[in-house]
Amino acid sequence: MKLAAILLTLFVAISHVGIMILEMFFWNHPVGQRIFAMTPEVAAASEVLAMNQGLYNGFLAAGLIGGLLRDRFDTIVFFLCCVIVAGIFGAATAKFSILFTQGLPAVLALVAVLISRDKFAK
């Protein structure tokens, strides 16, 4: 079960690296505008805010990857909980589908990590 926990957590981390790249580098680009359903004007006006958001997504990914590399149960749980809270907040304030694209994978990873608790370093 630890392998499933690691793979699910890695999936969450990689998805946040992808989100970071989109928000920091492709927000004000046709790709980002299409993915986030924005007009060029909206993208240009919110580009700096999106870069800030992207940086925070990068921090989430870095925390998860660091926890995995150090085999740290507490670090992994903390950052997965942060992702879950971000997913809930994003669903409530931005787009409901964020609950499923960000929140649900993190919940699944957290459940797997909690089941595998004894296999991780404390």
> Could you count the other beta carbons within 10 Å of the beta carbon of residue 97?
11
> Could you count the other beta carbons within 10 Å of the beta carbon of residue 25?
14
Q: What is the mean pLDDT of the chain?
A: 96
Query: What's the token pair of residue 106?
Result: 């993190």
Q: 114 lies in which domain range?
A: 2-119
Q: What is the pLDDT of residues 71-114, one digit of tens each?
A: 999 999 999 999 999 999 999 999 999 999 999 999 999 999 99
As for how many domains the chain has, the answer is: 1
> Could you count the other beta carbons within 10 Å of the beta carbon of residue 65?
18
Which DSSP category does 1 fall into?
-
What's the pLDDT score for residue 121? Answer: 74
Which pLDDT band holds residue 21 (cuts at 50, 70, 90)? very high
Per-residue pLDDT at 122 exceeds 70:
no
Q: Are 61 and 18 in contact (CB under 8 A)?
A: no
Dihedral over Cα of 72, 121, 104, 12: its sign:
positive
